Amino acid sequence: MDTVTLTTATGVDLFAMLGTVLWHALRIGAAFQVLPVLGGRGMPAQARLIVTLALAATMSTVLPAPPPMAVDAATVLGVLREFTVGVAIGLILRLAFEAGQLAGELVSQGMGLSFATMADPLSGASSPVLSQWFYLVFALLFFTLDGHLALVRLLADSYGGLPIGAALPDLHALLSAVPTFFGQCLRAGVLLALPVMMALLAVNIAFGVLARAAAQLNPMAIGLPVSLLVGLLLLMLLARELQGPVQQLFEDAYAAARALT
């Protein structure tokens, strides 16, 4: 084999490898675009691109190569299919973090901290400080429970259940998976905040009765600091019990994401 033929063959192999990496990067990049902590606004675009290409290059060495595709409508539909699957996987995991955001919203109203807001790394809008506290706790538990490793395994297994170029098995199931898991996230967020909410409601009712019995008492001047202190104490106790419910929520999220493929 002469030098020209060897160079041509090597170039063809490199372009085939690059095409394989880019096909895998479509689904992985779409998932990282909406994922919390590891993607979205929480990670710079350059770092997200590097992680996406690194994971795609690694998975392309152990997964079957995608079938050859021409530049036609079928290829465009294949690209849209990869984006759809990736966004659906990332969105389900993001909903698990939204349960913590909801719990923070509910608790902050009872503590009187709903006016204390800061930038939300998930959406870029303002949210209560307690919502950010729950977000950070969820993020720490996510890495503590090896959620990032489970995410890599989930993305790799998704190519086994739904290979590149394969038709979606059930479009209705894919579209209904996110709303179904959304209801579970709402229930989880309310249950996480319910003990603190009930305790703060009892404190507020007690100060309302005292203010009614003694008109000279100012419920805003006395009740707000007490509600704040009680709320902080309850959050300290709640933080010790969060691992079990959050771990179960993550497991449900991964189960719902695996059901997509």
Q: What angle do CA 185, 186, 192 make, to 5 degrees?
A: 85
DSSP string, 114-156: TT-EEE-TTTSSEEEHHHHHHHHHHHHHHHHTTHHHHHHHHHH
Both structure tokens of 202 = 């009892």
The whole-number pLDDT of residue 132 equals: 85
Q: Residue 182: is its pLDDT beyond 70?
A: yes
Nearest-angstrom CA–CA distance, 146 and 250: 11
Burial letters 33-61, b for 16+ CB under 10 A, else e: bbbbbbbbeebeeeebeebbbebbeebbe
Number of domains in the chain: 1
pTM of the prediction?
0.81
The whole-number pLDDT of residue 125 equals: 67
Residue 202: domain span: 3-258
For residue 123, name the pLDDT band (cuts at 50, 70, 90). Answer: low
Residues 114, 131 contacting (CB under 8 angstroms) = no
For residue 1, name the pLDDT band (cuts at 50, 70, 90). Answer: very low
The whole-number pLDDT of residue 231 equals: 82
The whole-number pLDDT of residue 214 equals: 67
Residues 108, 114 contacting (CB under 8 angstroms) = yes
Helix H or strand E segment including 233: helix 219-239
Phi, psi dihedral angles at 131 (to 5 degrees): -65, -40
